[in-house]
Amino acid sequence: MPVDVVVNDGVAEITLNRPEALNAIDAQMRRDLREAWQRVGCDDDIRVALVTGAGTKAFCAGADLKRTMPPPESFAELTFGSAESNHLLAGMDIDKPIVCAINGYAIGGGMEMALACDIRLASSNAELGLAEVRHGTIPGGGGTQHLPRAIPQSVAMQLLLTGDRIDAAKALACGLVSEVETPERLLPRAREVADRIARNGPLAVRAIKRVVREGMAMPLASALELELFVWGSLRDTKDRIEGRRAFAEGRVPQFQGR
């Protein structure tokens, strides 16, 4: 299968599994990814998603140009006439956190997928870039919007307009990734991060992601009002009461998402 999904202790590990093609995205992988994100969004037993690529060379090298032909439908048909989105990031707009382990190349659509994740960790051999401008087009999977929101605008514009790649050290320096690990250590460390998130109160985790995501598009005063409203919504939940009791009793809380 082009995409493998394994669920363990609240974490859905999604692996792009075409290492012979540097995990490039073909039509089947796109469909499988859409189904995987739908499963993550709908399954209450899944609290966090972790996405990575099979092998040691690449997270995802973008679209598989050898196996991705232009669709027979017009753009209007795909945009307005289909009930199911064919967008690369379809299904990723969920409240559950997504951790990305970038184990090598993250180019084009691969980088755009990584940018749509909440936490990005990279291996020391990672290279990231959006080279579409070199081919006479633009990143169409969110790259022009997500990148300037993730790193300083000047750095983002230089990468977008030149199509240059950056290595893991530069990605860390500009804040594009939060950690850099050795290739051997990357996936275990990403799992540690995902596991720590999964152990926290699921309602609070999802609320934080929603408040941050929506608040970034608001004036500060409005975002603070949203934060207060969400805090109040969580105040009397069973999980918040359980968290305070567990702290007082010196034990691990047992959250239920209620």
Catalytic member of 13, 127, 132, 181: 132
Reduced 3-state DSSP string for 84-140: CCCCCCCCCCCCCCEEEEECCEEECHHHHHHHCCCEEEEECCCEEECCHHHHCCCCC
Q: Is 77 an active-site residue?
A: no
Residue whose C-alpha is closest to residue 186's, from 91, 62, 58, 4 = 58
Catalytic member of 13, 112, 127, 181: 112
Q: Is 20 an active-site residue?
A: no
Active-site residues: which are they? 112, 132
